Chains A and B, each alone.
Chain A
Amino acid sequence: MNSEYLILFFLLGVILVGGAILFSMFTAPTSKNSAKAEPYECGIPVKSDAWIQFNVGYYLFAIIYLVFDVETVFIFPWGVVMRDMGITAFIEILIFFFILVLGLLYAWKKGALKWV
């Protein structure tokens, strides 16, 4: 029964946004003006594209994030069975976190967490 509700909520988003934009397209006034179609840049004429290179720092954080995100996928099922499994699960998570923290410390030491 759940899957059709998932599709329903997906469609609700499409209907709400699509409906409002369609309505607005028919009711709102339009006027053509070449200056209006320019991206905003404090009112001065736009210089070049905005699709340029940006700080590599953002990529570094995204890469470290990837490790921890995969970890989250593993750790949630562990959380569910932790109470029933007891000491075995506890030791397992200690080993798992030891390796994980080692990775974080390595990144830290290498300066990946420092903003440049």
Chain B
Amino acid sequence: MDLNIYDFTSFTKWVDTALNSVMSPGWTMLVELVIVGIVFIAAYAVIGLYLVLAERKVCAIIQNRQGPNRVGPFGLFQTIADLFKLLGKELISIKNADQFLFNLAPFILIIASFMAIAALPFAKGLHAIDLNIGIFYMFAVSSLGVIGILLAGWSSNSKYSLIGAIRSGAQVVSYELSVGLALLSVVIFSGSMQLSTIVESQANGWWIIKGHIPALIAFIIFLIAGTAETNRGPFDLAEAESELTAGFHTEYSGIKFAFFFLAEYMNMFIVAAIASTVFLGGWMPFHLGGFESLNHVMDFIPPVIWFFGKTAFVIFIMMWIKWTFPRLRIDQLLKLEWKYLLPLNLMNIVLIAFIVLMGWYIK
């Protein structure tokens, strides 16, 4: 067995052949599915729980406080304690609510985020699914979550929930356009929708560097639209605490509420992971074409660390935005998208097409 932390391709092949040598192909597939499933469920839970803690810590730093610091060293076990508390809380069923849809909503949210996380390349040869339409798939699946939000808000039979849900629906569909067009810019540059190919194409510099001005514009638009699509930050109208109590999940209690919370943080992780994969090179170390010694030094840091480091960086920016800016109104929110971001994005696409046509980018 050769576990190489720089390239997982041989490791996964080794696991596959080792399993194939002891059992039939059908069982091998089943065992592999179970292994992948356990790994992803564990990763999902750990990432989700620690993002909640990270947000509370970042918020505390920005507001000049301590943040959670009682449970475990630096409050590291705070969110785990919270999870067990929520598991032990009563699941209240609301009178007159549409019970079936009410219970279905958390399933849809969590399934959407699981499907999206499946296509992420964490390191070389370390991804569950490598679709040739990877970006398109991520874009499609990550926007399914809004159905869960709409169902949750509508089925609760509470006015706050309904207002939160329809706001969220209008917001997510609007900002989805900007997300798609911003991702399209890198599709034009790299000429592929497969995430692994896009990462490989950044071996001599990340797209944000190689694509210079238009790529930078696309990245900023993606950050804004991604923040809006996950109902976070200055765009959290769907759950505006000060006016709608909790918006679409007002009526949820106990572990069902926890899943809405978890899904929000996982969606943030997914957006940050897409941003880092597409614009910041994913697991690709910091490379510059022509600087061989620099590239060689950077290669010593394992790709997994690069991937999670960049993702953490983007997540930090999103948290920073959330705790710095005041909340927008719904008309300001829609105006920002339809009158500023969308025309800017369309112009940016034409600019990119022109730059690619003339070859004015680093190949």
Residues of A at under 8 Å CB distance from B? 2, 4-6, 8-18, 20-21, 23-25, 27-31, 34, 36-41, 49-52, 54-55, 57-58, 61-62, 64-65, 68-69, 72, 75-76, 79-84, 86-87, 89-90, 93-94, 97, 100-101, 104, 108, 113, 115
Contact A93 B177 (CB under 8 A): no
On whether A2 and B129 interact (CB within 8 A), knowing A13-B107, A18-B107, A76-B187, the answer reads: yes
Pair B346/A97 contact, Cβ less than 8 Å = yes
CB pair A27 B87 closer than 8 Å: yes
Contact in complex: B250, A28 (CB < 8 Å): no
Which residues of B have CB within 8 Å of A41? Answer: 158-160
Partner of B115, one of A4, A9, A79, A82: A9
CB distance from A68 to the nearest CB of B (A): 5
Please determine whether B255 and A20 come into contact, CB atoms closer than 8 angstroms. Answer: yes
Docked pose: A49 CA to B61 CA in angstroms: 43
Within 8 A of A (CB), among B174-224: 174, 176-177, 180-181, 184, 187-189, 191-193
Q: How far is the CB of A88 from the nearest CB of chain B, in Å? A: 10
Which of A11, A13, A108 has the most CB atoms of chain B within a 10 A radius of its CB?
Answer: A13
For the A-B complex with A17-B106, A39-B156 known, give 15 more contacts whose Cβ atoms are closer than 8 Å: A13-B112, A14-B111, A17-B111, A24-B255, A37-B93, A38-B94, A50-B159, A50-B161, A64-B338, A68-B342, A69-B177, A72-B177, A97-B346, A101-B346, A115-B335
User: CB-CB contacts of B247-284 with A at 8 A, as 1s and 0s?
Assistant: 00011001110110000000000000000000000000
Residues of B within 8 A of A104 (CB): 338, 342-343
Query: Closest Cβ of chain B: how far from A52's Cβ, in Å?
Result: 8
A58 touches B170 (CB 8 A): yes
The CA of A108 and the CA of B339, in the complex, are separated in Å by 9
Q: Binary interface profile of B, 107-143, with partner A (CB < 8 Å = 1, else 0)?
A: 1001111110110000000001111000110000000
In the complex the two chains form, is B254's CB within 8 Å of A28's CB?
A: yes
Residue from B92, B113, B192 in contact with A37 in the complex, judged by beta carbons closer than 8 Å:
B92
26 contacting pairs across A/B (C-beta < 8 A): A2-B130, A4-B33, A9-B128, A12-B114, A15-B41, A18-B107, A21-B106, A21-B255, A24-B88, A37-B92, A39-B156, A40-B251, A61-B334, A61-B338, A64-B338, A65-B176, A72-B184, A76-B136, A76-B193, A80-B187, A81-B191, A83-B189, A84-B191, A89-B353, A113-B339, A115-B334
- Whether the Cβ atoms of B37 and A12 lie closer than 8 Å is yes
Q: Which residues on the A side are within 8 Å of B245 (C-beta)?
A: 40
Given A65-B174, A75-B184, also A113-B114 (CB < 8 A): no
B157 interface residue per 8 A CB criterion: yes
CA distance in complex: A33, B99 (Å): 18
Tell me whether B36 is interfacial, beta carbon within 8 Å. yes
- A10 surroundings in chain B (CB, below 8 A): 111, 114-115
Residues in B with CB closer than 8 Å to A40 are 158, 160, 245, 250-251
Give the A-B contact count at a CB cut-off of 8 A.
Answer: 214
B330-A115 in contact (CB<8A): yes
**Size class of the contact patch on chain B:** 35 or more
Q: Which of B103, B161, B255 has the most CB of A within 10 A?
A: B255
Contact: A61 with B173, CB < 8 Å?
Answer: yes
Contact B33 A100 (CB under 8 A): no
Interface centre among A4, A64, A68 (most CB of B within 10 A): A68
Q: Which residue of the partner chain, among B36, B181, B330, B354, contacts A8 with CB atoms under 8 Å?
A: B36
Shortest C-beta distance, B159 to chain A (Å), equals 5
Set of chain A residues within 8 Å of B170, measured between Cβ atoms: 57-58, 61-62
A71 to chain B, nearest CB (A): 9
Interface residue ranges of B6-61 to A (CB < 8 Å):
29, 33, 36-37, 40-41, 44-45
Residues of A within 8 A of B152 (CB): none
Q: How far is the CA of A86 from the CA of B251 in the complex (A)?
A: 54
A61 touching B174, Cβ below 8 Å: yes
